[in-house]
Amino acid sequence: MRRTGPAALAFAILAAAAPAAADGMPDDFVRLSEAAPTVRQDIRYFGADNFTGAPVPGYEAPQCVLTRPAAAALAKVQTELADKGYELIVFDCYRPEKAVAAFMDWSRSDNPGKPYFYPGIEKSAIIPDGYVAERSGHSRGSTVDLGIVRLDRDTDTFPPRAQRCDESSMSSLGLEMGTDFDCFSPRSATATEEVSEDAQANRKVLLDAMTDAGFVNYPKEWWHYTLGNEPYPDRYFDFDVE
pLDDT in tens, 2-37: 333 333 333 333 334 444 444 589 999 999 999 999
Q: By mean pLDDT, which of 29-33, 161-165, 188-192 is the weakest?
A: 161-165
Annotated catalytic residue 87: no
The better pLDDT of the pair 22, 125 is held by 125
DSSP 124: G
The better pLDDT of the pair 145, 169 is held by 145
Percentage of the chain beyond pLDDT 90 is 80
Q: What pLDDT is recorded for position 163?
A: 86
The confidence band for 169, taking pLDDT boundaries of 50, 70 and 90, is confident
Q: What pLDDT is recorded for position 175?
A: 84
**pTM for this structure?**
0.88
Q: What pLDDT is recorded for position 151?
A: 86
CATH of 24-227 given 3.40.50.300, 3.40.50.150, 3.30.1380.10, 2.60.40.10: 3.30.1380.10
Catalytically annotated residue among 194, 221, 230, 242: 221
Q: What pLDDT is recorded for position 185?
A: 96
User: How confident is the model over 93-107, as a mean pLDDT?
Assistant: 98
CB 166 within 8 A of CB 119: yes
CB 31 within 8 A of CB 75: no
The number of CA neighbours under 13 Å toward the Cβ of 28 is 15
Which of 149, 191, 188 lies closest to 172 in space, CA to CA?
149
